Amino acid sequence: MPQEVHVLKVLSPELEDFSGVWLRDPFTKAAKGTDRIGLCFTQAYTFEYRKGQIANINAPEDVSVMCVNIIRGILNLLQLTIEESQTVYELQEAGIEGTCLTKYLIQKDKNNVKFTVSRTKDFDNCTAKVVKNTGMAYVRPCQTCPLTMTNTGGTVTFNYNLKYMDTGALITHVESREIREITPFDDLSGTAVMEARQELTLIETSANQERMPEILLKNHGSLHYQFPEDMPQMAVHLINTDNPELKIVDTLEQLIQQDRQQVYTETPAKFLELVELTRAATQENLASLWKQFADRQPYRHWLLSAVTTGGTRNTFMFLKQRIHNEDLSILESAVTLTLAFHLTKTDKVTLKAAADLVTSPAVQKSVVLRKLAYLGFGSMVNHHCSVSSQCPAEMLQPLHDLITAADISHEEDVRLALKAIGNAGQPASLNYIKKFLPRFSLAAKALPEKIHLDAVLALRIIARKKAATVREIVFQIMMNDTVPPQVRMVACIVFFETKPGLPLVVAAARIAERDRSLQFASFVASHMNALARSTIPQLENLSAACHIALKLLSRRLLRENFRYSMVFHIDRYSADPKIGALGRVYLINSQSTLFQSIIGKIRGFYATSAMDIVETGLHLEGLTEFLRRQDIPFFEYSAYRQLKELGKLLRDWKELPSEKPLVSAYLKLFSHEFAFVALDREFIRMAEKLLSKPAELLIALFQKGLVGAWTQPIMIGELRHTVPICVGLPLEFGLYSSSVVHAAAKVSGQISTPVTGEFQLHHLLESNIHISAEITSSIHTELVAVMGINTPYFWNGLELRVKSHARIPVNFDVNIDVEEERFTFETVPVQKETEVFDMRVKLYAISRHMDEPNSAKMSPVLSELPESDVLDKCFKSSKDYDVVQQSAKYDFTSGKFTSNLKENLHYKGGKLSHPPAYYIKIPALGYQTCLTVKHCEAVFLGDTFLRNILEKCEIKLALAPEGAVRTKIQLEVQEGSRAGSEGLQQREEDAESSSSEEKRAKRRKRKSKVQKTRGNEQPQFVRYTKGSGLAATLSTIQNDKKSTVFHLVLNDELHSSRPTVQVLVSNLNGSKRMKICAEVSILDYQHAEGYLKWGQDCQDYRIAGKIAYGQFSGYPAMEIKLEWPRIPAQVEEAARELTKYIPGTAYMLGWSEVEQKNPPHEASVAVALVSPRTCDLILRLPHVNI
């Protein structure tokens, strides 16, 4: 054996387990775990050791990767890089965690016989970091963000004792200590810490050299940790996956039993076990299970849901065969294709199978499945190639073949190919995309504009790898004013997504300033203005560049107007939780239409990562022209007539020309396009086929009613970040979430039109309809966050479990009279005390072993405070609790404060606990709610954001009827001219309800006087007109006794010489005389006025306003004037306090101020445009002019 080759043999290994309170509870021997680990060390290992560097680790062929990694952890202690000429130095050094920055400190003793070495590694500064991320393909890391924004970190320190020998230095003792931490929020808001230690001591040396046994060894390379090919089990459980077929059957039986009993507390966790078992199953296992359960719908549904979520090669092959054999319905195939393409772990074999599936006859003959398959295949290629700069050509070939074979006359094929290539997002596809971009291809000039748009949008994901190349392409499109403005605006969107530097941003501003298209120029200016206001740290440099570039733009471009294209942007970032979000809406106009395209997106940020959550686009291509050709005066029709005309219009869409769709739309989730649709003749034909089933359901509904239940398990997320630690074991930071949605309904209906076999949907517009429904829907969700050691045989670490349950019972009756334009809705929210939401938080230190699945050690980290069940006493008085402070009480419907909010409660034991209950009473509707909070002790976290979350370990929300009487809530809505007559009838009933004949006489006299002077005074409210209107009444019914909560009447006369809108709200607080009245009138093209009155007969309080437009000193001006002769004292006091800040604000803004005694109950503001950039403002308040 060569001198550099050494043998490592581990003798008598022991595994001890700890779960409990540190320094108080003891370690316990894990006998079965020791046996498992002992199998790793039955034979010897060899390695090369040259000048302190480890290389070429060899192990027996039958040894698992986990065993080799443990050996790496031991050898990692011996890795040293000694620089004899230096005592303090740093370098990038290889180790089990990767190649990371390592700092050395060498100290020698006086006799120069011994010396010590301190070696420290920084895991945040690595050139080749060993890490494995699962479920994070859609997460975009920020390469330029500072390290202070990261939420994970760690370091390891080695201390060596060495002594000089004739042959070199001898290590006599070495110890290591590694710290890994995760900060879910800010560094100061609490962290979870993992600590690993090693110690190696030289006991003796022997001159005898054992002979290495003659066995075949396999080279495992360097010290770098190696992850096993198979995905480790989810950290939320540790189950034995031997004989998976039998265990899948058993798990399915348990899930079906829970579904029948409608007990779903443990179902989310059980569904994750089913997913785990399907990952361990072979194709033969899955095929056998399909034969058993294909014809048993509940079992089939649960099995398909789990297999689709499994994401392994075997599950994908199984699903491919089912679709190829056409064993699935269209809906099942669509869901299966979408999820399988996005959730499957990719490799060359899986991608080859996916390419075969995309081109299979079962997929190609369905328009829907074909679109979903190509879009999903593009996303699968992106997942596989996301970690490398180059993607093998054979993986992209199916997409390149599709775009090459696409006929220009078939726009849908070209668009599908571009969108699929855009999902793949690989630089190798750039030349294919350029063929459809204006300015880069002569043939592209003749292509439709929507193909140009899709080609530009296909560059967005490619920009993540080739930002400079994509930026250059879209910038050239922006510069070319011969390109349609809409295409240039979309290029501008892509341009700013590449985060250009200041020079290019300034250049874009110069282009917008000189451009002839106001639409494009306004869009660029609006986009820069939106970015300049951003508070997101990841956009900090781009925001600063836009802020500078805006100073080069003229004011005319910065005046945002709905006539021009613009960008709406809103964002919020909180540095403490390190969480932020932004929302953007791109409005793209053209000269002939309004809002030719609308694109909206939402992006989320956490620490140094970002994710495009959802994006949707709507292109109104031919809709405006089509509606203009119809020449239908919708605004002049009643609601019934509008519905009939709309139904007729929808039926006529079948005659549309197929070459130009009216509307097209797309949906993107996590930056990838999932679906797109164009509303054309082909779509209408497909929709008719799909609508045949709803028509059949309606017939069944009106003939015999519908009864059904539906349960859907969902694996919401599986995010795993795994790194090796110094002992050679994997440390996982994981987040798992699953839900089970359940809905049960019993619906019956009656209709005035006879229901026959020729019944169609438009017959609903000619009928009176009554529907009764009892619906119960619920969702059980479990979220688990973990940090710990995850191996195939044992799991140790922290586990945070959050379980929530929301239940919404709905019972209602609906009556719809379309011709009479009347709608009635009646419901009984709850008939007894009902929990509608509850959430529980548990934090454990857990130890699990594969060989002892039922003996997991769980030590609670959060101890519950001694509070009794508050919910049972929330709706009753209790002697155990004493209200220390009582807040204001408010009844939402009557306007009076009657709720009881318990702010601070004392427990009898003497310790002050947290507020356990919040109680709100709504007597007008006959219901009361109670929100209870149970607290846990988390003082060890300090005063942190994390503590504020974890200490609320149980939350419940309950709803209960007030008293024993069953309360029904009724809402009646009357639309059209009859609503105006109801307002008149309501007013007459109010007059008749007066008990005094004298009051009725005075009212008639006052009414007569008003009618005589109507030309000079404000009109009486409410007058009956022929304009359209709306009347709504909310009532409660107890023991067949009806009590009105409020009555609302809205009238409008928009087509008269004096357009007017009037609103009356009456029957407030059960009194017919308590009302709210409002009116807005346009007197002429320069004057408008309105008022708001409330109180008894709208006479107690009044606010009036006037708006006038005209000239002020020769400049266009507008004046707004308010009068408040009578307002509540509380409102007046609040206004008085607010006006105290106005003088100071005016001074800070540099405005002049003059004290003047103006009318005490009036205020006015006048604005005059004295130049294109400035205006004069005069504000008159009761005591000051500004």
872: Cβ contacts below 8 Å, ≥ 6 apart: none
For residues 1184 and 1131, the answer to whether their CB atoms sit within 8 Å is no
Residue 824 half-sphere exposure toward CB, CA atoms < 13 A: 14
Q: What angle do CA 53, 229, 102 make, to 5 degrees?
A: 30
Q: Which residue has the higher pLDDT, 993 or 445?
A: 445
At position 530, the amino acid (one-letter code) is A
- CB-CB neighbours of 403 under 10 Å: 20
When pLDDT is averaged across residues 201-205 and rounded to a whole number, the result is: 87
| Residue 436 pLDDT exceeds 60 | yes
| Residue 85 pLDDT exceeds 90 | no
| String of DSSP letters for 866-896 | S---HHHHHTS--SS--EEEE-----TTTSS
Q: Which of 477-491, 510-524, 658-672, 879-893 is predicted with the least confidence, judged by mean pLDDT?
A: 879-893
At position 696, the amino acid (one-letter code) is E
Taking only the tens place, the pLDDT of each residue in 216-235 is: 888 998 999 999 888 788 88
Query: Do 688-829 and 5-146+155-186+194-219 fall under one CATH topology?
Result: no
Residue position matching structure tokens 């029709």:
637
Could you tell me how many residues make up the chain?
1186
DSSP label of 346: P
Q: Which residue has the higher pLDDT, 98 or 767?
A: 98
- Which is it for the CA torsion 164, 165, 166, 169, positive or negative? negative
| Residue 1: predicted pLDDT | 53
In the structure encoding, which two tokens stand for residue 991, read together? 């007059």
Work out the mean pLDDT of the chain and round it to a whole number.
81
Q: Rounded to whole angstroms, how far apart are CA atoms 398 and 402?
A: 6
Taking only the tens place, the pLDDT of each residue in 350-376 is: 999 999 999 999 999 888 899 999 999
- CB-CB neighbours of 706 under 10 Å: 15
In the structure encoding, which two tokens stand for residue 548, read together? 């500078």
Which of 62, 73, 159, 52 has its CA nearest to residue 115? 159
In the structure encoding, which two tokens stand for residue 1134, read together? 């609040």
pLDDT confidence tier of residue 679, bands split at 50, 70 and 90: confident
Taking only the tens place, the pLDDT of each residue in 380-407 is: 999 888 866 678 888 899 999 888 888 7
DSSP label of 210: P
Q: Rounded to whole angstroms, how far apart are CA atoms 894 and 799?
A: 47
| Residue 1069 pLDDT exceeds 90 | no
In the structure encoding, which two tokens stand for residue 1152, read together? 């002049």
| Residue 1046 pLDDT exceeds 60 | yes
- Which is it for the CA torsion 618, 622, 624, 627, positive or negative? negative
Phi, psi of 860 (to 5 degrees): -65, 135
Q: Is 413 helix (H, G, I), strand (E, B) or coil?
A: helix
Q: Rounded to whole angstroms, how far apart are CA atoms 1032 and 1050?
A: 9
Q: Rounded to whole angstroms, how far apart are CA atoms 1015 and 1007?
A: 14
In the structure encoding, which two tokens stand for residue 738, read together? 């699953």
At position 368, the amino acid (one-letter code) is V
CATH topology of domain 1109-1186: Lipovitellin-phosvitin complex; beta-sheet shell regions (2.20.90)
| Residue 870: predicted pLDDT | 60
Q: Which residue has the higher pLDDT, 403 or 594?
A: 403
Q: Please compute Rg for the chain using Cα positions.
A: 37
| Residue 686 pLDDT exceeds 80 | no
Q: Rounded to whole angstroms, how far apart are CA atoms 903 and 1172?
A: 55
In the structure encoding, which two tokens stand for residue 342, read together? 């996005």
- CB-CB neighbours of 1150 under 10 Å: 6
Which of 1098, 1049, 1040, 1108 has its CA nearest to residue 1073? 1098
Q: Which residue has the higher pLDDT, 502 or 928?
A: 502
Q: Which residue has the higher pLDDT, 1025 or 652?
A: 652
| Residue 889: predicted pLDDT | 36
Task: Report the run of H or E that residue 60 belongs to, with start and end.
Answer: strand 53-60
Taking only the tens place, the pLDDT of each residue in 1100-1148 is: 899 999 999 988 888 899 999 999 888 888 888 888 888 888 878 887 7
pLDDT confidence tier of residue 765, bands split at 50, 70 and 90: low
In the structure encoding, which two tokens stand for residue 191, read together? 């962290």
| Residue 902 pLDDT exceeds 60 | no
CA 640 from centroid of its chain's CA atoms: 38
| Residue 600: predicted pLDDT | 93
In 183-262, DSSP assigns E strands to 192-201, 217-219
For residues 731 and 194, the answer to whether their CB atoms sit within 8 Å is yes
Task: Report the run of H or E that residue 287 belongs to, with start and end.
Answer: helix 283-293
When pLDDT is averaged across residues 410-419 and rounded to a whole number, the result is: 88
Q: Give the strand order in the sheet containing 98-108.
A: 88-95, 98-108, 114-129, 152-165, 168-182, 192-201
For residues 63 and 43, the answer to whether their CB atoms sit within 8 Å is yes
Q: How far is CA 612 from CA 136, 178, 346, 445, 809, in A?
A: 12, 35, 22, 32, 34
In the structure encoding, which two tokens stand for residue 903, read together? 């702010």
Taking only the tens place, the pLDDT of each residue in 840-871 is: 888 888 888 887 777 788 888 877 666 556 66
At position 736, the amino acid (one-letter code) is Y
Counting other chains too, the contacts that 256-265 makes at CB distance below 8 Å and 24 or more residues apart are 256/298, 256/299, 256/302, 259/298, 259/711, 259/742, 262/742, 262/744, 264/740, 264/742, 264/778, 264/780, 264/805, 265/780, 265/803, 265/805
pLDDT confidence tier of residue 988, bands split at 50, 70 and 90: very low
Which of 332, 285, 279 has its CA nearest to residue 309? 279
In the structure encoding, which two tokens stand for residue 416, read together? 């599908």
β-pairing, 1060-1066 with 1074-1084? Answer: antiparallel
Residue 326: left (phi > 0), alpha (psi -120 to 50), or beta?
left
Q: Is 426 helix (H, G, I), strand (E, B) or coil?
A: coil
| Residue 880: predicted pLDDT | 36
Give the ranges where 435-466 is alpha helix by DSSP (H): 449-457
| Residue 999 pLDDT exceeds 50 | no
Q: How far is CA 476 from CA 426, 515, 549, in A?
A: 21, 14, 19
| Residue 924: predicted pLDDT | 66
The string over 859-895, giving b where at least 16 C-beta atoms fall within 10 Å of a residue's C-beta and e elsewhere, is eebbeebebeebbebbbeeeeebeeeeeeeebbebbe
Which range has highest mean pLDDT (135-144, 721-730, 906-915)?
A: 721-730
| Residue 910: predicted pLDDT | 38
661: Cβ contacts below 8 Å, ≥ 6 apart: 621, 622, 678, 679, 680, 683
Q: Rounded to whole angstroms, how far apart are CA atoms 410 and 224?
A: 52
Give the ranges where 550-676 is alpha helix by DSSP (H): 555-558, 623-630, 639-652
- Per-domain boundaries in the chain: 5-146+155-186+194-219, 688-829, 863-962, 967-990+1022-1099, 1109-1186
Give the ranges where 653-758 is alpha helix by DSSP (H): 681-703
Q: How far is CA 358 from CA 68, 362, 537, 774, 882, in A?
A: 40, 9, 41, 43, 68
Q: Rounded to whole angstroms, how far apart are CA atoms 840 and 801?
A: 8
Q: Which CATH number fits domain 5-146+155-186+194-219: 3.90.1150.10, 2.30.230.10, 3.30.70.360, 2.40.10.220?
A: 2.30.230.10
In the structure encoding, which two tokens stand for residue 1086, read together? 């320069």
Task: Report the run of H or E that residue 381 belongs to, with start and end.
Answer: helix 367-385
Q: Rounded to whole angstroms, how far apart are CA atoms 602 and 581?
A: 7
| Residue 980 pLDDT exceeds 80 | no
The domain covering 688-829 belongs, at the CATH homologous superfamily level, to Lipovitellin-phosvitin complex, chain A, domain 4 (2.20.80.10)
When pLDDT is averaged across residues 802-816 and rounded to a whole number, the result is: 88
At position 576, the amino acid (one-letter code) is D
| Residue 631: predicted pLDDT | 61
Q: Is 767 helix (H, G, I), strand (E, B) or coil?
A: coil
Percent of the chain with pLDDT over 90: 31
Q: Rounded to whole angstroms, how far apart are CA atoms 839 and 806?
A: 9
When pLDDT is averaged across residues 822-837 and rounded to a whole number, the result is: 83
- Helices and strands in the chain, H and E counts: 30, 45
| Residue 831: predicted pLDDT | 76
| Residue 2: predicted pLDDT | 63
Taking only the tens place, the pLDDT of each residue in 1012-1026 is: 433 343 434 444 444
| Residue 668: predicted pLDDT | 92
| Residue 802 pLDDT exceeds 50 | yes
Angle between helix axes 485-497 and 449-457 (nearest 10 degrees) is 0
